[in-house]
Amino acid sequence: MERTLVILKPSAMARNLVGNIITRFEQKGLIIAGMKMMTLTESLLTEHYAHLVDKPFFKSLLASMTALPVIVVCLKGKDAVAVVRAMTGATNSRNAAPGTIRGDFGMSGQENIIHASDSVENAEIELQRFFRADEIFEFTPANLKFLYAPNEA
Ligand code: UDP
Ligand code: MG
């Protein structure tokens, strides 16, 4: 099964959306394989957002992402990367479809509630960036046979 990284950004923390967002992933059938609270540093974020360092909004993004501690989550499931990106919605919350996390909870391009890995390759890199190996757990949920057919799991 695939793994992906979600970050509940300071905008989610400030607006008391943690339970709601985690509930959505739980209800979908994604397995929480790791979860912790941490303060992001500028050096970690510069690595994580390396594709954006030259953008005019980069400094503002750094300030936003360090404004409060965040919650980082490792979610597991079949096609988890694409499933979680679809649940996340478009980058700009104003363009994100209703029913998505950004579409339901935000009005901003920057303050867009969560981060979600955009490819299987990046998910693995990002999980290693934010978690130690012993912070991600290998276990078989008791309800697995009701989440997937035998040929899917
Ligand atoms: N961002 C922004 N303005 C932009 C584009 C991105 O403030 O014009 C912020 C926003 O918080 C976004 C993050 O930078 O989530 C990372 O951008 P990316 O293009 O990777 O979007 P994502 O993968 O988060 O949808
Ligand atoms: Mg991205």
The string of DSSP letters for 23-65 reads: HHHHHHT-EEEEEEEEPPPHHHHHHHTGGGTTSTTHHHHHHHH
pLDDT for the residue 153: 80
Q: What is the pLDDT of residue 42?
A: 98
Separation of alpha carbons 97 and 101, rounded Å = 9
Distance, in Å, from the CA atom of 146 to the CA atom of 19, rounded to the nearest integer, reads 24
| pLDDT given at position 110 | 98
Asked whether the beta carbons of 5 and 84 are under 8 A apart, the reply is: no
Query: DSSP state, 79?
Result: T
Closest Cα to atom 2 of ligand 1: 110
pLDDT at 48: 98
111 CA: nearest ligand 1 atom: 11
Instruction: Return the active site residues.
Output: 115
**By alpha-carbon position, which residue is closest to atom 10 of ligand 1?**
110
- Residue 26 is predicted with a pLDDT of 98
CA–chain centroid gap for 3, Å, is 11
Which pTM was predicted? 0.98
pLDDT beneath 50, residues of the chain: none
Q: What is the dihedral of CA 37, 39, 44, 45, to 10 degrees?
A: 100
